[in-house]
Amino acid sequence: MLETVKDDEWGLYPNFSKKEMECKHTGECHVTHKLMKLLQDIRNEYQKPIIITSGYRDLSHPREKDKSRPGEHTMGMAADIAICGPDAIRLVAIAYRLGINRVGLKQKGPMSTRFVHFGVGDQAGKFPAATWSY
């Protein structure tokens, strides 16, 4: 199991806050250092704000409780980012180069619903490297 970010460690990730990474359903926040370090490295290179729409999700989160197995958000290893168009392409290219190994793309429909999912997989191989669209 990867180590999660403790309350006094959020200063390591100056462009992100615990609040934005918390489960929108429970307020819990158990994101991993691995995810946050990669997000911060991506943000440093991207040089623009990154808007997190979903970080950690508790098992009771409505999007998770109906799944056949818990998703990587429940393990603190994924985040969804509001972005579209050329900015999304640039952000994904940076993410791949810096080590993100799971990318989901939702780039159709209303602009307000478009996003990219970045995941860091896990050591047990439950979430292998992959790219998909929604």
- Domain parsing of the chain, residue ranges: 19-133
pLDDT tens, residue by residue, 18-30: 999 999 999 999 9
pLDDT tens, residue by residue, 71-100: 899 999 999 999 999 999 999 999 999 999
Architecture of domain 19-133 in CATH? Answer: 2-Layer Sandwich (3.30)
In the prediction, which pLDDT does 2 show? 81
Question: φ, ψ for residue 84 (rounded to 5)?
Answer: -155, 170
d(CA 102, CA 128): 8
Q: Does residue 109 have a pLDDT over 90?
A: yes
Tell how strand 102-106 and strand 130-133 pair up. Answer: parallel
d(CA 88, CA 14): 22
Least confident of 5-9, 24-28, 118-122: 118-122
**Mean pLDDT across the stretch 43-53?**
98
Quick one: CA torsion of 4, 5, 6, 9, rounded to 10 degrees? 150
